[in-house]
A and B are shown apart, each in its own frame.
Chain A
Amino acid sequence: MAAAAPTPRSDLEAIFDAQYAPIARAIARVIRDPGRAEELAVEAFLKWRPGHTTGWLYRTGVRLALDELRRQARGERYRGFLGWLRTPPPTPEQQQSSGEEQERVRTVLGSLNRRDAELLLLRNEGLAYSEIAAALEMNPASVGTLLSRAQQTFRKEYVRRYGKP
């Protein structure tokens, strides 16, 4: 009796196998909840279409993460404003990972304009200038300048909020 032929894997599933873990990790670095990071990683793959590069996946993941970070920051502001809405207690994982410096960096990233934050995070993920340029649809020749400006903005905002470390 012949064995059943394996179901052919789609392009999406092939790229999912190869890139899911790094994309989920890149997202988890920005937001503090790993479970939510995995959900957002799946969302990024659902937006993927044949022809999109790995850099595009990183950009989409990072963008979803930054949006989530801003949503969280807004939620916290409203909770603080309303007072009577109790913040849910942090999970043990959150408690473990919520180092003070980590929170500072997240706050500063969330306050930057989206392109600056994306540039910093994509570069920090190890993407080359050409990959960043393709992912953010910008001229490769200007990536260096824009990245340098984003770094200056990041440092300025960090020092303004927390002083020099």
Chain B
Amino acid sequence: MENLELDRWVEDRLAHLTPTASWQPDRPSGLARLRSKKAARRRARLGAAASAAMLLFTIAAFPATRVFAQRCLDACVGETSLISQYFRSQPAPGPAPDFTLPDASGHPVRLSSFQGKVVLLNFWATWCPPCRTEVPWFQEFHMRYGGDGFVALGVSVDESWQPVRAFLEQTLVTYPVMVDSGEVAGLYGHLKALPATLLIDRKGRIVKVYTGLVERAEYERAIERLLD
């Protein structure tokens, strides 16, 4: 009942919306307007297509414009790829850039000296909780798969050796760990997040890049696949 009353009330209000009684829609002039607007839109579409065709023809017809267009295209593609690479914060796939850094005892460690082995290269820091979670896993992998040709390498981005040494002693890490002042991280692209872990195959190519805390089983699966 209440709904019926509301319905009637609203209908009464809307009934006031009546156009002027003397006005009648003018169909012939409406039809003329419709035809003229349709024709104008068709002309605009044709004009745009013709302009695009003319532009393409001009570019393709002259060697100078063709070369210029090719360079513009290359530059656009190159920039887009650089930008997307930056935002993915992943190093480009391909050969792992070589580097040499001293380990905790001062001995130089060179990445290329591990060619022929599967390398897990982990960028980490003592102040990064997920990194601290992962380091003991890598120590375990280093022990478990070492005999099959696997090696773990840690590159700490801490500001000094002091906190790194303390942490390594506490966690009993035996794989080579180095401290980087930013040069090696720079070689591997923009590491926007820690931990960043790369898997490098026996030929020295980066095959996997992980950013952030990853499931332990995921690492195990990937390492075992590479060792097979």
Partners in one complex: yes
Q: Which B residues touch A25, using CB under 8 A?
A: 19, 25
What total count of A-B pairs have CB within 8 Å? 87
In whole angstroms, how far apart are the Cα atoms of A28 and B25 in the complex?
Answer: 10
Indicate whether A34 reaches chain B with its CB closer than 8 angstroms: yes
Do B11 and A124 touch (CB < 8 A)?
yes
Q: Which B residues touch A99, using CB under 8 A?
A: 16
Indicate whether A66 reaches chain B with its CB closer than 8 angstroms: no
Indicate whether B33 reaches chain A with its CB closer than 8 angstroms: yes
* Contact with B10, one of A20, A41, A155 (Cβ below 8 angstroms): A155
* Contact with B31, one of A16, A105, A148, A158 (Cβ below 8 angstroms): A16
Contacts A99-B16, A120-B10 given; does A28 touch B23 at CB 8 Å: yes
The minimal Cβ–Cβ distance linking B182 to chain A, given in whole angstroms, is 54
Indicate whether A134 reaches chain B with its CB closer than 8 angstroms: no
* Contact with A34, one of B3, B6, B23 (Cβ below 8 angstroms): B23
Do B25 and A24 touch (CB < 8 A)?
yes
In whole angstroms, how far apart are the Cα atoms of A120 and B13 in the complex?
Answer: 11
0 or 1 for each of B189-200: is its CB under 8 Å from A? (1 = yes):
000000000000
The minimal Cβ–Cβ distance linking A131 to chain B, given in whole angstroms, is 17
Do A105 and B13 touch (CB < 8 A)?
yes
In whole angstroms, how far apart are the Cα atoms of A17 and B35 in the complex?
Answer: 13
Residues of B within 8 Å of A, CB-based: how many?
A: 26
Indicate whether A70 reaches chain B with its CB closer than 8 angstroms: no
Q: Which A residues touch B17, using CB under 8 A?
A: 29-30, 102, 105-106, 124
Q: Which A residues touch B27, using CB under 8 A?
A: 17, 20-21
Indicate whether A46 reaches chain B with its CB closer than 8 angstroms: yes
Could you list 16 further interchain pairs (A-B, Cβ under 8 angstroms) beyond the known A17-B31, A21-B27, A105-B14? A13-B34, A16-B30, A17-B27, A20-B25, A25-B19, A34-B19, A37-B19, A37-B25, A46-B34, A46-B37, A46-B38, A93-B23, A102-B17, A124-B11, A124-B17, A155-B10
Listed by A's residue number, 16 A-B pairs whose Cβ atoms lie within 8 Å are A17-B31, A21-B24, A24-B25, A25-B25, A28-B25, A29-B17, A29-B18, A34-B19, A38-B25, A41-B25, A96-B20, A99-B16, A105-B13, A105-B16, A120-B10, A151-B10
For the complex of A and B, the 9 pairs showing the least CB-CB separation, nearest first, are A24-B25, A29-B17, A28-B19, A21-B25, A101-B16, A124-B14, A34-B23, A151-B10, A97-B20
